[in-house]
Structure 1
Amino acid sequence: MTGDLPGWKQVFVEDFSAGDVPLGGFPGPLYSAKWSAGYKDGTPDTAAQRSGKKARSGYYPSKVLSVRNGALDWYLHSENGISMGAAPTPRIPNASSNPPRANSLLHGRYSVRYRGDAIAGFKTAWLLWPDSGVWPRDGEVDFPEGDLASIIYGAAHFARNGRDAFEKLDSDQYVTSWHVATMEWSPGRIEFFLDGQSLGVSTKAPKTPMHLILQTESCLTGCPAPAARGHLSLDWISVWVPA
């Protein structure tokens, strides 16, 4: 987790050892220098944006995020018929964009140790999103991705005839055990690793600066049951740039 690697220089690491933060208080004074809570309460998530209807799901960091037992915790649940996720964002120092912006990189190595409860209807889509905001033209990379009751996979999105297409690389693992998920983004390729084993390489790698968002949401393959609830935990995260 800590330190440079052959070909990679570490630029960000977080293990949430600074102390606990109560539900709704993240990032708070302990973590605000290195984190943002991401989208504000009530922001529609991907499923709500696609449906174009009144949101049944969305981002609610004040209802979801805390730090407990040395990990960033998502309390995934529903209130008043709305399933709630959150998308915290690390502030990764860099100079990849012009002018420089926090959390923007052109190529990098991203690694997380995480686990979750098997809550059908909630999913991780921890992703690299283009700084340009032009999608699908400038691509997207998701890893770890998957419904919390299904297998973990990685996906590299790209534009085909102006529409979204993607390459999907599956694992045979579930989130209910601790896993280390790593993506290595280099010119012309992105490789996905789970617990040190390669899931494969996609040549559909982005060519423009991207920023990392730990997007955790619901309702993309069916919404969770009203009483469904549980936790997703991030033990640590580490980021490197090409040395």
Structure 2
Amino acid sequence: GGVLCGSLLSARAQTYQQVWADEFTNGIGPDWVFETGNNGGWGNNEKEYYQAANATVVNGELRITAKKESVNGYSYTSARMKTQGLKDFKFGRIEARMKLPLGQGLWPGFWMMGSNITTVNWPSCGEIDIMEHINATNTIFGTAHWNSNGHAQYGLTTSVTTPDDWHVYSIEWTPTYIKWFADGNQFCVINIANGVGNTGAFQNPFFILLNLAVGGNLPGQTIDESKLPATLAVDYVRVSQLTPLAAAPGAPAPAGFALYPNPRQAGEPLILALPACDATHPATVRLLDALGRELWHTTATSPTLELRAAQHLRGGLYLVQFTDASGQHTQRLQVP
């Protein structure tokens, strides 16, 4: 076994390890700052006045609420928060579990902008829209913006049948590509290798933003006020980055966390025990090969989970990785 592990877990073997998160367990974490005002419509002819008071934490989830109320001459209020100046990231998996509000004129966003926006301005800084949604549709937008002799953009959409339920929206961003996912299903990819198409902005650090706009160029200027107040709910925001396996043991596993049987014979059911996991404390579970490549994933919402994908594994070493509010944990799995 030792020789096998040593040969597989080489310096090239990498896996995603969590480097930052806000679980919103006991309030809004220290790495966010709030925008205030309307800022001329934020470049999109938006109607809302942003203020920190519209972002709260209830039962371990962030709630950004758009309201019909008059402040400083604007008819609607909402919140926009960002990690600018406090946390930024170059490459990684950036994900959030969110419930989206439905209503004509509502425009929630989970996105990133280049940290050098203060010196090169937009769109030269680059922008990655991980998740945008408008109105009451099932359509999710994933888009990149940059400067290529003027504003350039590329993106695609996907359909989510129940956007007002919990879903995980994410990107995987490397020096060569950005991929967009909804519940782990890839729906868009852009090639950024070697700055192709003037995409060099995406080789720089970016900060994270969350907001709920009211009205604007994308959703239109008609607001269904019967849907107000409307709330964007966020269970967590997590950032993971590729790390050599040998240097990334992960956080200590919580009491009772177990993977059995291990070693496991081919075809046997494989059970993961997650004692602290339930519908209000979900965990993301991923099955990786020895090089850290994802083979399968799911969101667990109960104390036991059968890894059905493991039934088809060939002999070798694998990793079962799960992430919950306590951090990220990795268990090695040997298949004879």
Normalising by structure 1, report the TM-score.
0.77
> 1:42-57 maps to which residues of 2 (within 5 A)?
42-44=37-39, 47-51=41-45, 56-57=47-48
- Determine the structure 2 residue equivalent to 1:165: 152
2 CA distance for matches of 1:16 and 1:168? 30
Asked if the contact 1:179/1:195 (under 8 Å) is kept, the reply is yes
- Determine the structure 2 residue equivalent to 1:175: 163
1 CA distance for matches of 2:102 and 2:62? 17
- Determine the structure 2 residue equivalent to 1:236: 236
- Displacement of 1:235 after TM fit? 0.9
**Residues 110-145 of structure 1: CA deviation (Å, up to 9, x unaligned):** 111011221221112221111111221232100111
> 1:212-231 maps to which residues of 2 (within 5 A)?
212-220=208-216, 221-223=219-221, 224-229=223-228, 230-231=230-231
Identity %: 23
**Residues 12-67 of structure 1: CA deviation (Å, up to 9, x unaligned):** 1222222xx6xxxxx4xxx3x3433x212x2437x45455xxx73231221x1111
- Determine the structure 1 residue equivalent to 2:16: 8
- Determine the structure 2 residue equivalent to 1:108: 92
Letter in 2 for 1:156: A
* Structure with larger Rg: 2
Asked if the contact 1:44/1:57 (under 8 Å) is kept, the reply is no
2 CA distance for matches of 1:157 and 1:188? 16
Query: Which has the bigger relative contact order, CA under 8 A and spacing at least 6?
Result: 1
Q: How many residues align?
A: 211
Normalising by structure 2, report the TM-score.
0.57
Higher helix proportion: 2
2 CA distance for matches of 1:111 and 1:86? 20
1 CA distance for matches of 2:39 and 2:103? 20
SS in 2 for 1:16: coil
**What stretches of structure 2 of length at least 5 have no aligned partner?**
1-12, 193-198, 244-336
- Displacement of 1:148 after TM fit? 4.4
**Correspondent of 1:88 among 73, 81, 89:** 81
SS in 2 for 1:7: strand
**Correspondent of 1:140 among 98, 104, 127:** 127
RMSD (Å) for aligned C-alpha atoms? 2.4
Asked if the contact 2:155/2:188 (under 8 Å) is kept, the reply is no
Letter in 2 for 1:70: G
